[in-house]
Amino acid sequence: MHKYIYYLLFLFAFNIYGQCNGSKDLCNKRYNEVAYLTTHNAFNSKQDGYLFPNQKSNIAVQLNNGVRGLMIDVYDDNGTTVVYHAYKFLGSKPLSIYFNDIKYFLDNNPNEIITIILESYTSSNAIENEIIKVGLLKYLHTQEINSLWPKLQTMIDSNKRLVILSDKNDANEDQSWYHYIWNFAVENKYGEINCEFNRGSPTNSLFIFNHFITSLTGNKNNAKNVNSFKFLRNHILNCKNLKNKFPNFITVDFCDIGESLDVVNKLNLERK
């Protein structure tokens, strides 16, 4: 009986602590050698009451369902850092709500790595204040430009499991964790399905793979088509071969529609 209990405990420990972002096969891969399911306007969800949402479920649910990259729009609202998409009247909440969700997930999932991609209309100091307020500072990874990214296992062992990328280049010398995204990443054109590079240098180490058809709002009917396994996988493989670039952040609307996580998992499994 005791041997059986010990065996079950061993299996539990292996499943929890022997994996990196859900797979033991990813532990020895560098951060930029891994694909991450990423949500476009992650905060802008039906569940949280936003009008014209891009997602059905909120960030807490997304993380529990396998999302590891979060695109978040941040604004200053009379001294309070808030999130909303384009227009405040469509829905707005304090950024701290979502940072608390992220901290809770990191606290309770020690083998998981999360990336936040900010579209910033506020300052790096304002973001830092929110990070300190909720206790995320200890998780922040710092990456030097043109340096090799660490392996996932290294990030987990050091407990530096949160990467922040921002489109606003205003970090001070003490904010080395606040990475200007276009020093590190390239993206394909967003709002349509294509492979053409948009912002960032193709030689950068990360590839933001925009895969959603949207203008101001998300569209569930479009998501049913483009988030299907065959459609998404074909788009990824086509761009990967055409651009000779491994896509890291597979960015979708309505991540709970279709098979986007299955596609990401298969992409990681096939990566040599």
Most distant CA atoms of the chain, gap in Å: 62
Pairing of strands 36-39, 249-252: parallel
> pLDDT tens digits for 114-172?
999 999 999 999 999 999 999 999 999 999 999 999 999 999 999 999 999 999 999 99
User: The tokens of 117 are what?
Assistant: 């991609």
pLDDT at 214: 72
Dist. CA 175–CA 171, nearest whole Å: 6
**DSSP H helices in 136-216:** 152-158
User: For the domain 2-270, what is the CATH code?
Assistant: 3.20.20.190
- The residue ranges of every structural domain in the chain are 2-270
Mean pLDDT of 104-110: 99
pLDDT in tens, 193-251: 899 999 999 999 999 999 998 766 788 988 999 999 999 999 999 999 999 999 999 99
Residue 272: the pLDDT is 73
- The whole-angstrom separation of Cα 231 and Cα 224 is 10
Residue 106 has pLDDT above 60, yes or no: yes
Q: How confident is the model at residue 192 (pLDDT cuts 50, 70, 90)?
A: confident
pLDDT band at 8 (very low <50, low <70, confident <90, very high): very low
pTM of the model as a whole: 0.93
Average pLDDT, the chain: 93
pLDDT in tens, 58-70: 999 999 999 999 9
Q: What is the pLDDT of residue 17?
A: 58
pLDDT value at residue 10: 40
Beta-carbon contacts of residue 71 (< 8 Å; ≥ 6 apart): 38, 39, 40, 41, 42, 117, 119, 251
pLDDT value at position 108? 99
Percent helix, strand, coil in the chain, to 5, is 40, 20, 40
pLDDT attached to residue 215: 62
pLDDT of residue 269 exceeding 60, the answer is: yes
Name residue, tokens 């001294």. Answer: 79
